[in-house]
Structure 1
């Protein structure tokens, strides 16, 4: 009997035949109501779950799926997947780190250009029949700071350094000896060394609220912030305050705390560019991501090691199996 995969992701339908052609039976549940119904109705049938970081998979859901063996997360982040519950059940978790790096990096640069050059305001003015001569900074030769130099951060760094002659600095959990970019030991130090600060680190407890008032003040009134990672990395109230008071020049955001809700305070600001969490969405990225999910599933159900395992916490010995 083929393995049954519960698909919670709402943006990949055109590429799901990749998994079907590999012999997997799919149950699609892209809305909260469909998700709850599918878990209740098909609880004993589901062997795998396909999700993404913001959608996650919670402990009560894992407990309700007695035959769940593997959770595949699209993208790098898995912040709302209960890793402890998975570990206690011996469930494998994989992610798609790096597959959509090019798409996310492209979007990061698009946001940076739109923000710094004030493209949305210029576009709106022309559509109103106006012809303003808006003076805006250039990107060339500026200092770019990247928080998180993984696959996405590296792709952004290459675009900035090679395409715009920017100097690049970064803060990472560890110094990287394989790159020539300047390492900063704290986010505050990185912000102080940057004209533009791009957040490219995964979400989760270890990165929560790394960007706070202190960091934003270090970025300063001429500095710009771009977040294509996770909203949890930033203290949103501190960001809104800094934007309102012009303690930073502007921000471009693709991620928000309670998606799809966006704070009205952000919508009302003229020094902000907003997009609906689409940085990782491109035909190339989605196809590559689903192909990786397929390879992980085939490997797992063939008894082989998965390609992109997520490290799980220590199993709690008295967990109920």
Structure 2
């Protein structure tokens, strides 16, 4: 138990250090990027020098870079992500208003892709080197090679423009609150496609490896059918590596949401970040990055904990007395 607590303490410490590094690098890059934040606030409207000076002082843009950086870190530790220059409202409020929309896409995409990849990966391994395996494996490779933004554009072209079955952009009819299910289909399919293809390939490889183990031969010697051996013995063991893949998939889904939300005009954090980058609204960019990074780090920590619970080898390693380690 002690070794397990030490392991998770180190994992938490390394995650906090990684978060600090990400925030520092992005802060420096945003400071070096060309553009004038005041232009994003004022636009082309004429403004006196006194007004510009007052706005610059209000947002602390006259302070040295290192001072702004330390001030920002101190604010983040208290939960204050700053204020948007363009929207003149707290960054936290902007993110809270968009976070749910992004999570809806990510959760639905994961819920759809995960069970399907389990079944197709196992079937591909069961029919190894046959036409069905070639169809599933070849389709997965092709789907994995397609960029999300291109697939999104093709989905819009076919199902929105040519067939007129589904809306192309947005989350609901203009002026209507909430999310309509018709608006969910295309972005969810687009987000799930790339993730599903990768997981199917991993599941196939993991199942093939499980089918080659000695306990599979033992199960067959007891007279179990091939389907029983696959679904009752090989598949549960083949799913262990998928725990890590699913946890890491949270990061890829959230990262991919930036392009997907931009293509479909989905009002989530990805679209918020794109708008903030275009407007040089640095506080919003930093705030969205911090939330995404924290979400990914938490998902990785939970994945590590879950894997330790489901894998008996890790439980045995942690429960082994320190003097007998190795």
Classify the TM-score, shorter chain.
Answer: under 0.3
Quick check: which one's strand share is greater?
1
TM-score, structure 2 normalization: 0.25
Q: TM-score, normalised by structure 1?
A: 0.26
Asked which structure has the greater RCO (Cα within 8 Å, sep 6+), the reply is 2
